[in-house]
Amino acid sequence: MKLQSVRGTHDLFGQDLFKFNEIRKIVTSYAELNSYSELQTPIFEFTELFKKPLGEQSDVVLKEMYTFKDRNEDLLTLRPEFTTPMIRAAISNNLLNNLPLKTYGIGPMFRRERPQKGRYRQFNQINFEIFGSNEFMADLELIMVANNILNKIIPNSEFILNINTLGTRENLILYKHNLTKYFNENKNKLSSDSKDKINSNPLRILDSKYEEDIELSKFAPSIHEYLSNSEKEHYDNIKKGLNFYNISFVENNKLVRGLDYYCSTVFEFKTNNLGSQDTLLGGGRYDGLIGKLGGPDIPGIGWAAGIERISMLMTHINNDGAKVHLAITSKEYNSHAQKIINFLIDNKISYYWNYKYNLKKSMSKANSKKTNFVIIIGEDEFNNNFYSLKKLDDGSQYKLKINEIKSFINDKS
Ligand code: AMP
């Protein structure tokens, strides 16, 4: 039997892994710069954590969760998203005593979607959250951090921020009621997918990709007619702030996001360079959710970005490999080799050896890897306690004592 990875999952190595690690490095540096602390949560949780908050009628809950019964009959789910586990962890560990809490995380998520380019069943997300502030400055900060991170990772790619506001929970209830009414009155003009959503999830019809739904949505009531003055002000302040930070954006009043818990500000960074899976990053406010999950009644806002999608837009990463290759000509000189290995490690000089006591093979490996230097350990070197160091770019060779090697390599690199 030839074993394969499960559909929608992939192994990470080579360029993809260099990119993944580079993304992690950049994300961590921006998290530190903006004082967000890392929070790691388990990859599975009790199913209850996701079911209601994400929406029993959301695609994720209806079709995509990896749910299984544990041996003691507990119902568990591989996390399909980060926000609810972050909140659960903040509550479980009493992290909400000191507000606002700013956290971030990086790790795998699981959704049983139909795999295609940019869409997998196991994928990695970067996630930033702020718990405990309803200041528009919090919304603005999160968007700014997202923009800075994307600009740093993919400076040559085009992406654009889409923003919208869904108003308060109360606005939304009234709005959804009227939207349901509108779509019911025009039911026969909707796609069959959307017909199923009229009563359960009418907002989703607004961002449907079917022509007939797009046409009908043009004349649907707009959430903006339902906004309170304070919500309007909140939204206007964000837009002014974005202008101040020079972050270009488009207002997209059909942007609703897929999960039930969103309200007020919602946003997505989109690109034209990835085909149909065009959203790099998405987020929004979820005031009310923390209270619903058993925590204090405090507001929250956050975003998640897909590492695989971002990494598809990254340019090639150079990874130079080991600086020094060793060429040891016989087992007899192993003790002399051990001395130099110890020395290289102590001095943080990367090295590689192929375990072959064969000068020719070691040299050709070093050449193929474009190594800078080869340290040769043979009979003469062993007997007279020195090392031969060959510089591969010009072929020059030097006899060096161990304590001369570091400065030599630094000088000649
Ligand atoms: P969401 O939690 O659905 O708002 O997704 C946030 C981000 O995660 C998206 O913008 C994508 O970049 C990424 N993402 C979501 N689902 C997938 C998936 N199935 N495969 C790869 N990336 C995904």
pLDDT digits (tens, 9 = 90+) for 225-251: 989 999 999 999 999 999 999 999 999
Distances (CA, A) of 41 to 78, 121, 219: 11, 19, 43
For residue 398, what pLDDT is reported? 96
Amino acid at the residue 198: I
* Pairing mode of beta strands 387-391, 373-377: antiparallel
For residue 57, what pLDDT is reported? 81
280 Cβ below 6 A of ligand 1: yes
For residue 259, what pLDDT is reported? 80
The whole-number average pLDDT for the span 249-263 is 89
Backbone phi and psi for residue 258, each to the nearest 5 degrees, phi listed first:
-85, -15
The whole-number average pLDDT for the span 278-302 is 96
Name the least confident of 87-91, 164-168, 170-174, 383-387: 170-174
Three-state secondary-structure class, residue 210: coil
The whole-number average pLDDT for the span 32-53 is 96
Neighbour tally for 46: CB within 10 Å = 13
**Most informative mutation of 60, 277, 278 for ligand 1 (most atoms within 8 A of CB):** 277
Q: Whose CA is nearest to atom 8 of ligand 1?
A: 306
Which atom, in ligand 1's list, is nearest to the CA of 119?
20
Q: How confident is the model at residue 287 (pLDDT cuts 50, 70, 90)?
A: very high
Percentage helix, strand, coil for the chain under 3-state DSSP, each rounded to 5: 40, 20, 35
290 in the Ramachandran plot: left (φ > 0), alpha (ψ -120 to 50) or beta? alpha
Query: Is the pLDDT assigned to residue 257 strictly greater than 90?
Result: no
* Pairing mode of beta strands 279-285, 300-306: antiparallel
**242: Cβ contacts below 8 Å, ≥ 6 apart:** 140, 143, 161, 163, 248, 249
Q: How confident is the model at residue 207 (pLDDT cuts 50, 70, 90)?
A: confident
60-65 LR contacts (CB < 8 Å, sep 24+):
60/111, 60/258, 60/259, 63/112, 64/111, 64/112, 64/113, 65/110, 65/111, 65/112
Q: How confident is the model at residue 255 (pLDDT cuts 50, 70, 90)?
A: very high
pLDDT digits (tens, 9 = 90+) for 8-36: 999 999 999 999 999 999 999 999 999 99
Question: Which strands make up the sheet holding 67-69, listed edge to edge?
Answer: 44-46, 75-78, 67-69
For residue 279, what pLDDT is reported? 95
Q: Whose CA is nearest to atom 21 of ligand 1?
A: 119
- Average predicted confidence (pLDDT) for the chain: 94
State the DSSP code for 60.
I
Q: How far apart are CA 124 and CA 126, in angstroms?
A: 7
Neighbour tally for 99: CB within 10 Å = 13
Ligand 1 centre and the CA of 275: distance in Å? Answer: 14
Query: Is the pLDDT assigned to residue 41 strictly greater than 90?
Result: yes
The whole-number average pLDDT for the span 325-341 is 96
For residue 1, what pLDDT is reported? 78
Whether residue 100 is preceded by a cis peptide bond, meaning omega within 30 degrees of 0, is yes
**121: Cβ contacts below 8 Å, ≥ 6 apart:** 6, 7, 8, 9, 110, 111, 112, 113, 115
For residues 269 and 284, the answer to whether their CB atoms sit within 8 Å is no
Ligand 1 centre and the CA of 284: distance in Å? Answer: 14
Ligand 1 centre and the CA of 290: distance in Å? Answer: 22
Which atom, in ligand 1's list, is nearest to the CA of 81?
2
Q: What percent of the chain has pLDDT over 70?
A: 100
Q: Give Rg (Cα) of the chain.
A: 28
**Most informative mutation of 66, 129, 309 for ligand 1 (most atoms within 8 A of CB):** 309
Q: How far apart are CA 273 and CA 185, in angstroms?
A: 38
State the DSSP code for 258.
S
For residue 4, what pLDDT is reported? 93
Counting every residue written for the chain, the total comes to 413
**Most informative mutation of 79, 86, 109, 126 for ligand 1 (most atoms within 8 A of CB):** 109
For residue 371, what pLDDT is reported? 85
pLDDT digits (tens, 9 = 90+) for 349-365: 999 999 999 999 999 98
Query: Is the pLDDT assigned to residue 321 strictly greater than 90?
Result: no
CA-CA-CA-CA dihedral for 15, 79, 269, 135, to nearest 10: -130
The residue written with tokens 């919090």 in the block is 138
Q: Whose CA is nearest to atom 17 of ligand 1?
A: 119
For residues 202 and 183, the answer to whether their CB atoms sit within 8 Å is yes
Model confidence, pTM: 0.91
Query: Is the pLDDT assigned to residue 258 strictly greater than 80?
Result: no
For residue 312, what pLDDT is reported? 95
Whether residue 108 is preceded by a cis peptide bond, meaning omega within 30 degrees of 0, is no
